[in-house]
Structure formats: C-alpha cells, structure tokens
Structure 1
Amino acid sequence: MRRIILWAVTALVAAAVGVVVYLELHGDFQRWRDEAALDSACDGLLDRNVVRGVLGPGSVEVEEEDEDRGGEGLVAACEVRVDGSGTVDIRILDTAYAGRTLDSFYAGPPGAHALPVPVGHGWTGLFGADPVLVGDGEDPFRADDAEDVTTSLVLECAKGSSVKGFSVTVETTLGKTLDDPANRPEFAKIATSTAAKASKARDCGAELGKPVRRLGLPVNEDEYKPLDTADGTCSGIPTGQGVSIATETKRGHAPYEICRLAGADLNKRYSLLAEYGPYAQEAFIDYQEYGAEEEFPSPDVPARDRDADGRSSWTTAKCPDGLALFTLQLTSEQDDNPKKRVSSPGLAYERAALRAFAERSAKAHGCSAPVQP
C-alpha cells in the first residue's frame, strides 16, 4: 500500500514539474505567474483584466501590505508594478472605522497644490493630482510630472449588509499626460472595477456608478476667478471687504468639497470645506483630539460662529449618509503672518459666506438645510 501511495505522489510531482517545464518551454510560465499574482493581489479584490488593460502586458510584481501594519479598518492594500508600463497603489478601507485607521480619507495631494475634482458618473469620489509647476505657457500636468494621480471612491453598503461601507483609493503612475482628456479615464478604471468587486465579494450591495468616460482636470491653486462669477463650489458666496477672488471646482457628488477665497492681492483669506459621510465622521473625531468642544466642531455642537480669538466657524446638516460638516477657516496666511493681513470683512460676512456655501452644497447632496448658529 505504501508503495502505491509513494508511486502516486511521485507521479503527481513529476506531472507538476512537467507542466512547469512545458509552460517555460512554450513561453507561458511568466504569463501564468503574472495572472496568478494579479488574481490574488489585494485579497483577490482586483479585476485582472482591467489592471492589464490599464498597465499593459509586462511582467508583474505585487507587494501586499500586512493588515497588522495597516491598522484597524484596513480591508486590503497592495502595490502592483508592471514592467515598463506603470504602477498602482490600492488601499481599501472599512468606513466604519473612520477616524480610527492609520490612513486618512483622500482629500487631495499633500500640500493641496491642486484641488481634487468630483469623479461624477454616479460615483461618490474624488480625482486629484499634484502638479509640478513649470514655466509660463507649459502644461503643469506634463507626462513626466503627473506621477501621483489618485482616484478615491466611497461606497455606502445597502441596508441589511454587515458592512457599513468602503473607501477605495488608487494612486496610479502611467507616464501619460492629464492634459489629454482621452487619458484621464484610464486613471479611474482600476478604482471603479475594484469598488465593484469589493462590493460584490463582501456582500455590500452598494449602488455603483456608471463607466467613467470623462474627467475634469484637478484645479491648480492659482486658477483664480472673480468671486461674483463663481459657478461651482464657491457659487452664491457674496464678495466682501478684501474678499473678491475665488478658487473652486465644479460641484458634484464628492465626499469632500473646497472653496478658497482671496483678495485682489491674491492672498488667501478663507477656506470653506464641506465633508460628508465618513469624511465628516473622521473630521469630528480628529477635531476632538485637539481641543474642547466649544473650540472645534463636534456632533454635539451643530453650529457655531467664529469669535475674535478663533480660527473657524462651522455648521452641520443631516444627510442620507450621516451628519455633514461645513467649516469656514482662516488661512494660515491670515492667522500667522500679520504682514499679509488685510482689514477683516467682519464676522457677519463670514457668517453669510458659510451659510451660502453650506446651503448650496447640502442641497446638491440631498441633505436638510444646514443648522443656523
């Protein structure tokens, strides 16, 4: 009996070796290895065909991030590199752990040199890149500079699911210029396909968006317009003493919106932020780590005007995905550099600006009217 078992094991090993040798001889072993690596990457939540379609046919290298190093709330994280084509870094978070993970939800590149724009097409998400500013007349999103192009999506699971929702963030390097509108959808494909696969694999049942056919360019910090012509995230905000210039993005179903206000001298005066769903939840938790409730936004203090010693005022609104947070903040230029300060338009102006910003944003997201301080 032992001889029969030994013979069977030997035969299986020989067959396996034969398969490998056959694949190597026929040039298919690398392809088989690459496909296996893509199928198992990020806990099996990637669509191999979509990844191949974006990154090309080169040899594949996958690096997984250990959940223990990723912290509480990390569902999966991995980096996929394709020789000669590009790299994607994927992170999938459980939004129920907002404020308790080692990762923050994507709200734009470090330093916020460019504002992320809504993904649109039925997706709740952001599309951003950090440009390297070059000489006048040149495209700041040149192919060799647009290395950190990020698509980040938020999924809200259906009622009855054991999972609250997911955040899927994909940073992509392709060496393609964002200035060509035809290239931009390539940077969103892996994020949308991963979101769809994660929703199905984890019985989330989220409402998914449509294929992303078009994407706007992230907005450079020096893309100013007169405030009274604003038609996006700064729309409806009145001008005031020393406040007449806006930097904004189009309004869409984004979990994070920003409007920057400046004076005629282009010195930034205020930043207005709208945060929804897990972004707002994380913001509330983060704020409470820095001070008392009367100084920073809290779910227990639904609205508050800035006083003479404060840096921000806020309001909230009830939304389908939870409590939204809207804040008006003095910029660091105004707060820390007296030489750049101009006479204040006054707290009454700040109240009117925040109210206009919050009301329009909340309405666009299907929320209730924001609370008045």
Structure 2
Amino acid sequence: MAVRRIVLRAVAALVAAAVVVAGYLLAHGDFQRWSDESALDGACDGLLDRHVVRGVLGSGAVEVEHERRGAGLVGCEVRVRDGGTAEIRVLDTAQVGQTLDSLYSGSPRALAVPVGHGWTGLFGAVPEPSGSADVFRAEEDEKVTTSLILECTGDSSAKGLSVTVRTTIDKTLDDPAERPAFARIATSTAARASKARRCGARLGKPVSSLGLPVNEDEYEPLGTADGTCSGLPVAHGMVTATETARGGAPHETCRLADAGLRTRYVLEADYGPYAQERFLRYEDDPDEDTPNTRTPAHHRDRDGRMSWTTAKCRDGQALFTLQPSYETGRDRKYPRGDADLAYERAALKAFAERSARAHECPAPARP
C-alpha cells in the first residue's frame, strides 16, 4: 500500500504541475503561438532565426518537418498557415557527390544569378508562363532558390558548408524591392550554421538587391555583353548571347547563339564544391572525352564531346567547359570543321580567362 500511495502522490503532483502550466499559458498568451516558436527554435538543428523566418513567411501557425539527417546533411521544411514555406538544406561540402543533386546550379529555363553583397552564391527560379511572355512569380507551386557556399577556416573540421533555401511567399520577383526577402532565410541560416559548426566563414553583407534570373530566350548582342559572355569573339556566326552578371557565383553560364537565335555553344565555369561535384559526376561517365582532375586542359577533336580547361584556385581546382549545342538538329557525332574547332578554342580561352580573373584565380591552362 505504501508503494501505491507514493505513485498516486507522484501522479497528483504531475497533474497539478500541468494545470499550473496550462493556466499560465492561458493567462499570458496563445498556446499555439508558443508551440510554434518552440518548433522554429528546434528546426534544422536550431539553425533557423525565428525572427527572420517569421518576417519572411508570416505569423500564422507553423508546421515543421525534419526531412533528412546524416552524411553531413541536415534538412527541414517550414510551412506557415496562410503564409509561405521554406525548404532548408545545410550540407558539409566534403559530402558533395554523395547525395543526388547536392548543389543548386539553376534551371535549364532560367540562368541563376549571383547573390552578390560579398556572398558566394546563386539566386534562381523557374519562370511561369503568363500570356505571351514568361514572367517570374512566387505563386503557389513556384519555389525561389537561394544557395550559398561558405568557405571554412583552417580551424574548422569542415572544409565548407552549402546552405540552400527554397522559398515560396506571396511576393513577385518582378518587383526589385521584394526580391531580397527571398534570400533572408538563407543568409541568416548561413550565419548560424557557420557559428554552430565552428566554420569561421567570412560572411557577406545584408542582401539589399538581387538580379532577376535570366530567361533562356533573353538574347543580347554578343559584342555588347558585359557579364559571363564578355570578351568572347564575335565571329563564326556567333552574334548573340544569353548571360548573367558576374559577382562571386560558384557556377557561371554563357550561351552563344547565331543570327537565327539558335544556341550553338554552352560555356560553364564551376568553382569550389561545384567543380568538385562535376568532376565526381564525370568519373562514372563511360565517355573518355569528359573532364577529369588528372588532365588540366583538353581541346576536343572533330568527333569529341567537349573541351575544357582548369585553374588552381584558392578553393580548389576550377573547371571551365565548352559544349556544342545540338538543338540545331545535327547529330552528336557530326564531324566539326577546322573553323568550328578554331572558334571553340578561342571562345573557351577567353571565357575561362575572364572568369578566372574575376574570381582572383591564376590563368587557366591552355585549352
């Protein structure tokens, strides 16, 4: 009987404590809101700033879902009732290549642009058809992505961190004043992740402006290009370009087109973990005519698949590639003439040199 009395007293004490707590919450505020804030504090291993998340997604009831952990990866999704959503992923860049599509590089329909403001990162979205023209809208099913790369100091166990946030909120990317809101969760999470993981990364400044992702059909004269296509030779029928600005982006793209607006060449530059991921992807490629870390440069022959060159940058080996586009209907094995190969060599050389210089890397190997 003594044991029974002790158990009953314990149960009564717990019930009394629960009543006191419930009474306090009812008297001092909304229980659901208190629960929401607690959920935000624990989301993504505590890497989210609740004030920033609330400011971007809204003040409604919150639902948090932890998506995956392990292998240097943490992810969660935050959904706010009558507000926005955010999918957050933080990755140790040493694990690049061990998860599918671990790094964000943009959409085939729209080139991602640099985040800028001292950040190494990309900002992108997929355009939504509207009438006769594509526009960018953050509507119900569209996700706007901000992806940042942090380079850790020598005192950290991690070499680097990748922070990617896909945000859906009731704002339009067409309004320059509203774009920075899409990057706020990513930058605040990056700052917290750097501190929590003892990364010691050099962080950027608050993002006050962002460029608009570039649609695939936004052509401009190649001769006036001043971004990722700047300095490429206007020759061999290449007269138009689709490009983005430069400014610390770990992945850059330039598309060259002829007078008929048919894309003929795609040039890409990758730095740090982005280059690492591409090298790893090509390791399992049965085609020998693909980049590898053992060959600093390669110029394709008449039947080859691509040309590439590399540069030894502070954050590792950078990769620059040129691939012909086959949207003109020509077969992949169609032999290239001497004029084609000569232009490709000149274009890749100019593209790689200018990109490397902007990233403060030494001159790339001669392709």
Partner in structure 1 of residue 229 of structure 2: 234
Quick one: structure 1 residues 145 and 336, their matched pair in 2 at CA, closer, same or farther if it must change by over 3 Å? farther
Matching residue's letter, 1:162: S
Partner in structure 2 of residue 49 of structure 1: 51
| Alpha-carbon distance between aligned partners in 2 of 1:218 and 1:146, rounded to the nearest angstrom | 17
| Alpha-carbon distance between aligned partners in 2 of 1:226 and 1:165, rounded to the nearest angstrom | 38
1:171 aligns with 2:156: no
Matching residue's letter, 2:201: A
Contact 1:129/1:146 (8 A) holds in 2:
no
Contact 2:303/2:336 (8 A) holds in 1:
no
Q: TM-score, normalised by structure 2?
A: 0.93
Matching residue's letter, 1:183: E
Unaligned 5+ residue runs, structure 1?
A: none
Residue 243 of structure 2: which of 242, 248, 257 is its match?
A: 248
1:31 aligns with 2:33: yes
Partner in structure 1 of residue 298 of structure 2: 304
Deviations 1:254-292 (A, max 9, x none): 000000000000111010000000000010010111125
Contact 2:128/2:134 (8 A) holds in 1:
no
Residue 203 of structure 2: which of 191, 201, 208 is its match?
A: 208
Contact 2:302/2:336 (8 A) holds in 1:
no
Following superposition, which runs of at least 4 residues in structure 1 exceed 6 angstroms of deviation?
340-344
- Number of paired residues? 364
Partner in structure 1 of residue 62 of structure 2: 60
Partner in structure 2 of residue 119 of structure 1: 115
- How much does 1:345 deviate? 4.4
Per the alignment, in what secondary structure is the counterpart of residue 14 of structure 1?
helix
Deviations 1:204-249 (A, max 9, x none): 1111000000001001111101111100000000022221110000
Partner in structure 2 of residue 221 of structure 1: 216
Deviates more, 1:351-360 or 1:22-31: 22-31
Quick one: structure 1 residues 143 and 169, their matched pair in 2 at CA, closer, same or farther if it must change by over 3 Å? closer
Contact 2:221/2:240 (8 A) holds in 1:
yes
| Alpha-carbon distance between aligned partners in 2 of 1:242 and 1:106, rounded to the nearest angstrom | 32
1:275 aligns with 2:273: no
- How much does 1:11 deviate? 2.2
- How much does 1:15 deviate? 1.4
Deviates more, 1:23-32 or 1:294-303: 23-32
Partner in structure 2 of residue 85 of structure 1: 83
- How much does 1:14 deviate? 1.8
- How much does 1:25 deviate? 6.0
Per the alignment, in what secondary structure is the counterpart of residue 185 of structure 1?
helix
Unaligned 5+ residue runs, structure 2?
A: none
| Alpha-carbon distance between aligned partners in 2 of 1:41 and 1:80, rounded to the nearest angstrom | 8
1:349 aligns with 2:348: no
| Alpha-carbon distance between aligned partners in 2 of 1:194 and 1:231, rounded to the nearest angstrom | 32
| Alpha-carbon distance between aligned partners in 2 of 1:342 and 1:88, rounded to the nearest angstrom | 47
- How much does 1:182 deviate? 1.0
Per the alignment, in what secondary structure is the counterpart of residue 346 of structure 1?
helix
Identity level (%): 65
Per the alignment, in what secondary structure is the counterpart of residue 142 of structure 1?
coil
Deviations 1:4-58 (A, max 9, x none): 7863563244213331244246551001100011000111111111100111100
- How much does 1:155 deviate? 0.5
| Alpha-carbon distance between aligned partners in 2 of 1:10 and 1:205, rounded to the nearest angstrom | 50
Matching residue's letter, 2:19: V
Q: TM-score, normalised by structure 1?
A: 0.92
Contact 1:130/1:146 (8 A) holds in 2:
no
Contact 1:359/1:370 (8 A) holds in 2:
yes
Partner in structure 1 of residue 22 of structure 2: 20
| Alpha-carbon distance between aligned partners in 2 of 1:17 and 1:366, rounded to the nearest angstrom | 63
- How much does 1:319 deviate? 0.6
Quick one: structure 1 residues 342 and 113, their matched pair in 2 at CA, closer, same or farther if it must change by over 3 Å? farther
- What's the Cα RMSD here? 2.3
| Alpha-carbon distance between aligned partners in 1 of 2:337 and 2:317, rounded to the nearest angstrom | 34
Matching residue's letter, 2:57: L
- How much does 1:341 deviate? 11
| Alpha-carbon distance between aligned partners in 2 of 1:95 and 1:144, rounded to the nearest angstrom | 31
- How much does 1:330 deviate? 1.1
- How much does 1:335 deviate? 6.9
1:73 aligns with 2:72: yes
| Alpha-carbon distance between aligned partners in 1 of 2:78 and 2:140, rounded to the nearest angstrom | 20
Quick one: structure 1 residues 366 and 296, their matched pair in 2 at CA, closer, same or farther if it must change by over 3 Å? same
Per the alignment, in what secondary structure is the counterpart of residue 60 of structure 2?
coil
Per the alignment, in what secondary structure is the counterpart of residue 59 of structure 2?
coil
